[in-house]
Structures are given as C-alpha cells and as structure tokens.
Amino acid sequence: MLNTDPIFNTDNISNENTSFNIQSRVISNEGYTYNYDYDSLQSNKETLPGSTDEYVKDDNELNEKLRISIIGLGYVGSVSCACFSSLGHRVIGVDADHEKVDSINQGISPIVEPNLGSLLKEGHQNKRLTATNDINQAILDSDITLISVGTPSNKDGSCNLDYLKNATKQIAQTLSTKNTYHLVVFRSTIPPTTTKNVLIPILEEYSNKIIGKDIGICFNPEFLRESTAIDDFYHPPKTVIGAIDDRSAEYGKKLYNSIDKNIIITSIEAAEFVKYIDNTWHALKVSFGNEVGRICKAMAVDSHQVMDIFLRDKKLNISPYYLKPGFAFGGSCLPKDTRGIVHMAQQNHVNIPIIEHINQSNADHIEHTINLISQLNVVRIGVIGLTFKSDTDDLRESPSLALLKRLLISGYDIQFYDPIINSERILDQDPLINQLLNDARCNDVLELVDNNQAIVITHKKKYTEQIARMSPKDKHIIDVVHLENNLPESDHYHGLCW
C-alpha cells in the first residue's frame, strides 16, 4: 500500500538576488548544491540557475539520468522540457503543432517567458532536448511520460477532458507494444477522481497492461507562475506527487530529488484537488485585498499601510491557523467585526461581495451540520460543548448554541453537556426558549451519551476524543472539530466535512 503520510514542511525558500548566468548556474535550496552541466561534471557539486548556495548530491543520484517524454508543448510543457533537460535528463517534447516542435528543435522558445529561451537553446546544443510530432516513438524512447495538455473550461464551468483523454488513449496504445515498466504522470488540472475514474480505465482498455505492474501512475500538479516559471521550477513552494502505489511514488520522486528535499507523497485525489484549492485561495486573497482597498480608499485610509500591518502577523493572519476545515466561527469578535466592516462599506457605497457573504457562509455551515444530522434518522441528540470554543465560558454568537437552538426548534429531543456553563446562564433572550434550553442541561457526560442516539462533539478535548473512540457502536458520533486522524472507521462516525 502507498504510504500517504503528508509532509507539511512547505516553507518558502528565499530567492532574493537571484541571477541567470548561463556560464555559472547556481541555485539555493537549504544548503544543497546542484551542477546541471552533467556532461562536463568533475565532482559531486552541481550548479543550476538561481542563486549562490551549494548543494551536494550523492553519487547514485548524480549518475541517474531519466528518459522523459513530455506531451503538450504549451506553457507548462515548454518550461518543463527546458528545466528537466537542464537537470541532465534526456527529454523529448511532443506536440501536434509543427511550429512549436520546430521552435523547440531550434532552441527557440515558443512562448514569452524570461530565461526560457536560453535554457531551451542549451538543451538543444547539448542534445539533451528534442521535440517531435510522433507521440508513439517518443513514448517508446522514454521511461516516464508527463502529460501537460490543456483542459479548458466548458461553458458551464466544467473541465473539458477531450485533449487529455485523446492523449491518454494514444499513450495506452503505444504502451501495449512496450515490454518494460513505464510511468505515466498526469499534470493537467483536473477534478479529483478523474485519474481514477476516467484516465486509468482508458489506459487499461487500450494498453492491455496491468496498472501498477506494467504501468505506474502519478498525478503531479504544477505550481508555475507565468513570468517567474523558471525560478518557480527550481524553487518550488512545494512538490506534490499523488501515486497509486509506492513504486510509482518512488519513480516519480526521481524527477525532483535534485531540487526538493521535502517532496509530498499523497493520494491521487488529494494531488488532483490541491491545485484547485491553491488557485481558489490565491484568487480569494487577491479579491479580499482589493475589497479591503476599496473600503480603505472610501474612508481615506492608506490600504497598503493597513495590509502591511496585517501581514506582519505570522501567527494568525499568514499561517495555517483557521484554515483547516472544522465548525463555524463564533465569539465576540469575528461575527461582529465582519458585520461592522460590511456596514462601513454600505455607508460609503462600496461593493464588497466576498466580505459581505462571510457571515452567510458561516450560517450555511451550521445548516450543513443540521442536514447531516437529519440524514441519520435519529430523534434524541446530545451536544457536548456549548461555548463558542473550548476552555472559555463565552457564549456570544456560539455556533454550538445556535446549533442546539436549531435542533430544538426542529423538534429533536436535545441535551447538552458543558461543565463551564452553570444553570444561571441565560441561553436565549426568549424566556420560553431559554427555559427549554436550560432544561436540556445534563451534568454527566456519560449519562448524556447513554440517553441519546447521536452525539455532536463541538469541543476538542481528551475526554471528547475518548467518547468518540469508545462510545457504543449504536451511537452516532458527529465530529465537527476533527478530533484526530485515526478514529475508527465506521458507519456511526460522521466527520462534518471530512
């Protein structure tokens, strides 16, 4: 089985003061040195385009040159051809467009991208890089095939897979005549499960080979930005390889061992989806910053000064904090201040659709929890944790309390347990609702578990993890805080959005 334990070290590597000297290529990557003029290699020190630090590779890694075919010579394919050939690998670019093929074969860039032309020229001169229209021969002359064909949007926003399916079929037909192991690496942006449900069946049907035994499969999303693609290749923010098995993963890692020590090995589906999440997050960041800018300008505040201060917070603002899927937010600050900034925008006639819909999205998340519970065919529900988060007595805009009220109003028999909330607390301004909620109090968590068919856990504590793990199998556990990664898999455990 493939080991999919993720590696979370994706710290950015500084690339300040980088230069591209064709005669002296050096790149920094946490103390390692690369020399990419393999034909004249005199020692185990390498140099690559980028900076001034050195990286020493072991002899086995130095001596291993891969034979790579790259299908599709658009933006990603052309950059990949140039950079992989600069690492000493033998690269064959493939495209149906004769002009692109001719450009690569003359060492000329078919696209506008800084420093790409010099790398293509060197690959051509060193005879490590060629291009062809003959996909069959390219596959037969290589051991790894990278597929980087376009997957444009359809009118409805869905992903057009026509080019990718056609390329996969041609690869499979060629592999049917090949007797050695071949790794197929998909790089085109596609929705999760596409490789498993669409592309692998095509490979199996037209190759008559056994996936895993004869053909390895990886999905390797690219994170190249136009105008900085060469630097991004050698200084990747992360390298992600989704693989069907360990053999595919280990073979795929050989592509990047010389430029990234912290390659992330994961499932095919996670690798497919992370590109969408990255780009959506980047789009959200741009739009959020612009909405802040519009409000600031309307109120005569320096938006860059505000955001410069905002960005100095590496603990909460620019960090993994708040980004893991979990329950809705609450408390005295986030809901109130979000409403406040929306009001300020309205007063100044500024349209901020993203920020304006944040609280609605939060309310929808509570509704999502209700919908999950409604599918369980239960009547008696216990909620463990009522404050907006653990280790506080703050009930202001608590999503747990909002959930309890919704369950009560929807006709469920409810109980809650929270040792911090005493009987004197007002849980709702409506006297009747307040009385009904207080009547639902349970002072013994084990009694709550015994009394109810479903248990909603909203606080992440050791005792709640024990309850999730050790409750009788006839009790539904609804986990809205992602208690831990290794809870027993069963039909009675329900993660809110995992």
pLDDT single digits (tens) 455-472: 999 999 999 999 998 899
pLDDT tens-digit map of 341-360: 999 999 999 999 999 999 99
* pLDDT for 422: 87
Average pLDDT value for the chain: 87
pLDDT tens-digit map of 140-173: 999 999 999 999 988 888 999 999 999 999 999 9
486 confidence band (pLDDT: 50, 70, 90)? low
HEC assignment per residue over the chain: CCCCCCCCCCCCCCCCCCECCCCCCCCCECCECCCCCHHHCCCCECCCCECCCCCECCHHHHHCCCEEEEECCCHHHHHHHHHHHHCCCEEEEECCCHHHHHHHHCCCCCCCCCCHHHHHHHHHHCCCEEEECCHHHHHHCCCEEEECCCCCECCCCCECCHHHHHHHHHHHHHHCCCCCCEEEEECCCCCCCHHHHHHHHHHHHHHCCCECCCEEEEECCCCCCCCCHHHHHHCCCCCEEEECCHHHHHHHHCCCCCCCCCCEEECHHHHHHHHHHHHHHHHHHHHHHHHHHHHHHHCCCCHHHHHHHHHCCCCCCCCCCCCCCCCCCCCCCHHHHHHHHHHHHHHCCCCCHHHHCHHHHHHHHHHHHHHHHHCCCCCEEEEECCCCCCCCCCCCCCHHHHHHHHHHHCCCEEEEECCCCCCCCCCCCCHHHHHHHHHCECCCHHHHHHHCCEEEECCCCHHHHHHHHHCCCCCEEEECCCCCCCCCCCCCEEECCC
pLDDT tens-digit map of 214-250: 999 999 999 999 999 999 999 999 999 999 999 999 9
The reply to whether domains 38-266 and 362-495 share a CATH topology is yes
Which residues form the catalytic set?
333
As a whole-number percent, the residues of the chain with pLDDT over 90 amount to: 79
- What is the CATH class of 38-266? alpha beta
Q: Is the pLDDT of residue 21 over 50?
A: no
Q: Is the pLDDT of residue 180 over 70?
A: yes
* pLDDT for 174: 98
**Domain boundaries, given as residue ranges, for the chain:** 38-266, 279-322, 362-495
Q: Which CATH superfamily is domain 362-495 in?
A: NAD(P)-binding Rossmann-like Domain (3.40.50.720)
